[in-house]
Amino acid sequence: MNESTPVAFITGATSGIGHACAHRFARAGWALVLTGRRQERLDALQATLEKLVPVHTAQLDVSDPHDVAKVVAELPEPFQRVHALINNAGLALGKGPAQTADLDDWYRMIDTNIKGLITVTRHLLPKLIAAGPGATVINLGSIAAHTPYPGGHVYGATKAFVKQFSYNLRCDVGPKGVRVTDLAPGMTASEFTLVRMKGDRNIADSYYEGTQPLQPEDIAEQALHVASLPPHVNITLLEVMPLCQQWSAPTILRD
């Protein structure tokens, strides 16, 4: 692998936005470290994308700190110069009201969207700084961080954490040449709703009916753009919505 080939480390590359980022960055010539829990999907990605660029895959549950430490420690030498970290692995679970929510769902969202994201970040920061100037951390936030909605409780709160963590992180690593972006999508057609609805395909499919949601490729395009800007340019927050979506207007709450 050429010394100057940039490396993108993507979490949650097995589906949706992470999967689209893997394809988009490969087409732009980036070498890839692709991670996720579903090994067979990582294998399929590797078989396809290795025709274009060097690819290293690692099965990784971001909510397991030992797993994260091991995957980063065992990165093969050419993949250690990580120029972009795409902290994409994340999920929402449940959409009912807080008073009937399953606490285990809440804990899993926190373990994945917050603890997983900060653990991966912490382990890779020295490599990003070494790869700098112009290295980039792209954290997948959400419009749910800024706009409350019924049933958004812990999911939206985890994404609000992502936003503030991104802003604070930038204060520390910015002077070291590392940019940090909160990339905050609105409704994007992926497996996100299927996961949120615990595999109920009817509810998941009906969510997108009559709409034109963003496609994962739309967000991947933005991620590549953010990571490819001149090193002194840092997009701090990039909110992207499909045209059919709107922030909620103030509403009257009734029981």
Q: Could you list the residues that contact ligand NAP (CB under 6 A)?
A: 11-12, 14-18, 36-38, 60-63, 88-91, 112, 116, 140, 142, 185, 187-188, 190-192, 195, 216
- Where in 89-193 does DSSP place strands (E)? 135-140, 178-185
Taking the least distance from each CB to ligand NAP, the nearer of 36 and 54 is 36
Minimum CB distance to ligand NAP smaller for 14 or for 222: 14
Identify residue 76 by its one-letter amino acid code.
Answer: P
Give the shortest CB-240-to-ligand NAP separation in angstroms: 9
Residue with smaller CB distance to ligand NAP, 134 or 189: 189
Q: Which residue reads 């019924």 in tokens?
A: 150
Tell me the chain's radius of gyration from C-alpha atoms. Answer: 18
- H or E element at residue 144: none
How near is the Cβ of 48 to ligand NAP at its closest, in Å? 16
As measured in angstroms, the least distance from the Cβ of 155 to ligand NAP is 7
Q: Which CB sits closer to ligand NAP, 82 or 184?
A: 184
Q: Give the number of other CB atoms < 10 A from CB of residue 167.
A: 13
Query: Shortest approach of ligand NAP to residue 141 CB, angstroms?
Result: 7
Dig out the tokens for 90 from the structure.
Answer: 């994340």
Question: CB atoms < 10 A from the CB of 66, how many?
Answer: 9
Rounded to whole angstroms, what are the CA distances from 223 to 109, 116, 176, 209? 23, 20, 21, 27
Catalytic residues: 155
Question: What phi and psi, each to the nearest 5 degrees, are found at residue 178?
Answer: -105, 125
